[in-house]
Chain A
């Protein structure tokens, strides 16, 4: 349940207390972009749209930053930079230090049967440790269950760069309603067969049997992101691209 008219806030702006959801029992939860200064001040730290959820008594800021800052639990697409004794160095973005991915952090990996990844390979991994004091650490397996849940090396296909905000919208559970992103579903409805992996660090991997499909999907994603298309415009774009392909 977000507010009707989007409220855009700037860093340091005071927030109208009437917007803050209150509940007798549930404590207020602050998401990314907001900071609590005791005793009762809530201050935004980034510029973006303030989103308030009354059901969960939480509030956060939706913002489209340029720099990806890893946080625990994020799914990202990284490229292997090199291999060290016990782990791989994985590059998440060109401007941050490499993250480490242990050799054995894959599903059912032992010293003898582990995936041998070369420099330049892509992996879909989850951030297991991220804080501002240390370089981030990744894992390709769910450490509690031991299953990979779709994580691991990505073969073939192509990676496209998208903005961080667009990647977040693609990863939303209800991307059609809340994220206003329908481009992937529309492409699937047109009959293209492809698979995607979205990394929170602004990368989308597209894989398919036909190279044309990969290129069409990549173009659709890029145009939607760059031009900020709405749902209807996305459908038109998809129709146009598929027609050109055929």
Chain B
């Protein structure tokens, strides 16, 4: 390492690594848009054309961008908007309103937000708005006054579009889409959603007013493409300050991708999901292990990252339980096997546990009922078990029916790794007949 450091004295290695970290983190945390959306060129062109027509010709439009989570919907939209801003005509004209179904949970909030983003409240001074009804008429009035050729086009981006469909009467959607279908101020309504059945959510009148343009982001890259994407995500650009470091890094990435074990890990990820976001998570974990002492990603890093990301959350939690709680879980597992998934209560579990104790009384201490109850409640708090909904609060806690929230495989896996697990307990867990 010190050799390399000497060879490329013009930038210290620490500087190089921190620059690398910064660059790649920006890329992986979605702060930086790619130059062009990979694999989405057709959709990009379609959307760009559409928005251009709105901003340049004043043509009203409505469109939905549909794709599974992590497919790059927002990225696509942002790319399009960035490209649109480069056009002089569009840049000066287009007004943008960004709404999110998770933030604007009802039409009243949404209307206020629209008014705020359009800077319409300035017209009436600093006066805070009155009722919802007035807001609506106010906004509709404003949009109605515009016409195709003279007023600035407004782009409405509705993120989580499906949530807007849950608003009362779908008033906002109806009105936005109605404006887009009538000779008022030109608007483009862009909905972003991951639900494929989004059109079925729309009320028939709203649906009729929607133009039925849908841009589906349903690409299925092959594994080779997936690998290529990993390379481009990790590769350093030419303009990296230290050319030598960049070349070394890129070469290390190349060797990493050719590694068999790495390919296996990546294929497993690919099989699990094709979206970018999970890949980015994986690469971030790798990247965080890059240090000055080790300025490259080793296959072992990737394996470790993969292990982390595939780890079972519930099984991990089991490791933190006390022996008593673990025993209770095992008792529940046996009860589940005996009664085929029927719910149980504390007494049943305790009895099962007592049976075990009677057989192997030498190693385990018989706990008092209150201690058992406490352990039981702790399990409930950890949501290892949950009460059956139908049972009312009236029943005593000991008799409240519960269900186990764990799969048997999780319990077995946890037992394997549980530190200093008594052999009897393990055997009890493995035994078929409790």
Chains A and B belong together in one complex? no
What is B's interface to A at a CB cutoff of 8 Å?
none
What is A's interface to B at a CB cutoff of 8 Å?
none
